[in-house]
Amino acid sequence: MSNLPNIDDLVEPTHDEIARQRFTSVLRKRVLVDFAKDMKSVYENVVEPGFEKRQGRKPKTGNEVRREMLDEPIFQEWSALRHNAQLMSWWTVQPSVERKLPELIQTAKDVAAATPTGGSLRLNPDVHIPKTVTELDVHLMPGCFHEEHAADDVAQGAVLYHGGLVFSGGLAHRSKGGWGATASRALRIKFPDFKPKTYLDIGCSIGRQLFAVMDVFPYAEAHAIDVGAPMLRYGHARAEALGKKVHFAQMNAETLDYPDNHFDLVTSSFFFHEISVKSSKKILKEVYRVLKPGGLMINQELPPASIVPNPYDDFVYDWDAYYNNEPFYYAFRHQDLTKLFVDAGFAKHKYLQFKAPNYSTWPDELFEACVRGEAVPPEVSNGQAWFSFGAWK
Ligand SMILES: C[S@@+](CC[C@H](N)C(=O)[O-])C[C@H]1O[C@@H](n2cnc3c(N)ncnc32)[C@H](O)[C@@H]1O
């Protein structure tokens, strides 16, 4: 920890703004947990039997379920509420971020000048920001990850941080721990000899998962890249206040400027579903190049269709592709992940994937038993567990 102000703490919502944010968190929980149960019940008791009667079989794919559900009023209501609760996660924090923007920007600049940990921030105004970021507001966040309305702007980073709290506020198991804490502890259990000295997080945005990984591998020299300058400025400011030494750089993951065989560990989270399969291929080739032999790339994502236990869950997982401005979600979930890595140069037998319970909300013994394959982890939905995939070089 340092004496610098934590940029996360500067925004001060009013009483009414807090009320709106809490309403949104509770609405999201109602939609994603309670209302989702009602919708599933309609599917199981009405929609699926109707399909079976007509077709002489049950639906086999998420797409078949989707076609049946599109005209169901309960799906339309669930979907509309979920869409609006997602928008409201950002809208309810924007006014308080805007009010404090000059102070937020100044704090980020002060921190960048001081950098007590020795971390750094390298911005590149000529970076190629892909259309997958510039042409749509990904997950409905107005301004996406890159827009700047003032010199040295950090607003989008602040909106992502505070909106993220609203987004997960009603879902306690999502707000604690998260994938970074879960996957890094799972790696420590599975591969106790793996002690990365150099670490890169790609698509880091404001560093949420990266910092959790660093807690488990504190001796690793940490680097993090993103195309969005407001993300990096904000991430750097919070890293320094939290005492996390990170070298942030504005870079497109398709063209990394690090030397060959440089990193022991490369991670990404909530990343691959937001980019095209074509771009994933380029990025994985770059990651293969910068990884040391014996190094590991590990990523978090929603589980691919191939491991989801039934077509109904598959249909629910694909929702974001249609209604959340994440058009690549579907292609991501329905591709062969092993092949993706093999095509980038990784050996087939070096591919790995696992599901682990969210670290901070499940007892240590259960967490460890699941990681060791001695118990079955909970389903991934609503952050109860996390799906990780990657490969050793
Ligand atoms: C959903 S966010 C990732 C969040 C972050 N990893 C976390 O877990 O909190 C995806 C990030 O990837 C970045 N991004 C998208 N395409 C990129 C690319 N080609 N190279 C580098 N960053 C990219 C976006 O700017 C955005 O910040």
Q: Record the pTM.
A: 0.95
Residues listed for the chain: 393
Task: Write the residue with the smallest CA distance to atom 23 of ligand 1.
Answer: 203
Q: What is the pLDDT of residue 170?
A: 58
**Using one digit for the tens of pLDDT, what is the confidence trace for 315-374?**
999 999 999 999 999 999 999 999 999 999 999 999 999 999 998 888 899 999 999 999
Q: What is the CATH number of domain 1-393?
A: 3.40.50.150
**Sequence-separated (6 or more) residues with CB below 8 Å from residue 92:** 17, 20, 21, 24, 163, 166
For 157, residues 6+ apart whose C-beta sits below 8 A from its C-beta are 205, 206, 228, 230, 231, 232, 233, 234, 235
CB atoms within 10 A of CB 22: 14
Tell me: pLDDT of 171 over 70.
Answer: no
- pLDDT tens for each residue of 115-156: 999 999 999 999 999 999 999 999 999 999 999 999 999 999
Is the C-beta atom of 271 inside 6 A of ligand 1? yes
At position 254, the amino acid (one-letter code) is: E
Residue 161 alpha carbon to ligand 1 centre in Å: 14
228 pocket-lining for ligand 1 (C-beta < 6 Å): yes
Secondary element (H or E) of residue 296? strand 291-301
Distance (angstroms) between ligand 1 centre and the Cα of 368 equals 30
Q: In terms of Cα–Cα distance, which of 44, 99, 91, 98 is closest to 72?
A: 44
Q: Which atom of ligand 1 is nearest to the CA of 164?
A: 9
Q: For strands 263-269 and 291-301, give the pairing.
A: parallel
Give, for ligand 1, the residue of 246, 270, 271 to mutate: max count of ligand atoms closer than 8 Å to Cβ. 271
Q: Where along the chain do its domains lie?
A: 1-393
Instruction: Point out the ligand 1 atom lying closest to the alpha carbon of residue 275.
Output: 16
Report whether residue 300 contacts ligand 1, using a CB cutoff of 6 Å: no
Q: Dump pLDDT digits (tens) for 196-207.
A: 999 999 999 999
Render 78-142 in DSSP notation, one character per residue.
HHHHHHHHHHHHHHTTHHHHHHHHHHHHHHHHHHHHH-TT--EEE--TT----HHHHSS-GGG-T
Q: What pLDDT is attached to residue 2?
A: 64
Gap between the Cα atoms of 354 and 373, Å rounded: 9
What letter does residue 377 receive in the DSSP assignment? P
Mutation test residue for ligand 1: of 156, 274, 276, 299, the one with most atoms within 8 Å of CB: 274
pLDDT digits (tens, 9 = 90+) for 269-316: 999 999 999 999 999 999 999 999 999 999 999 899 998 879 999 999
Report the distance separating Cα 276 and Cα 302, nearest Å: 15
**Can you count the helices (H) and strands (E) in the chain?**
18, 8
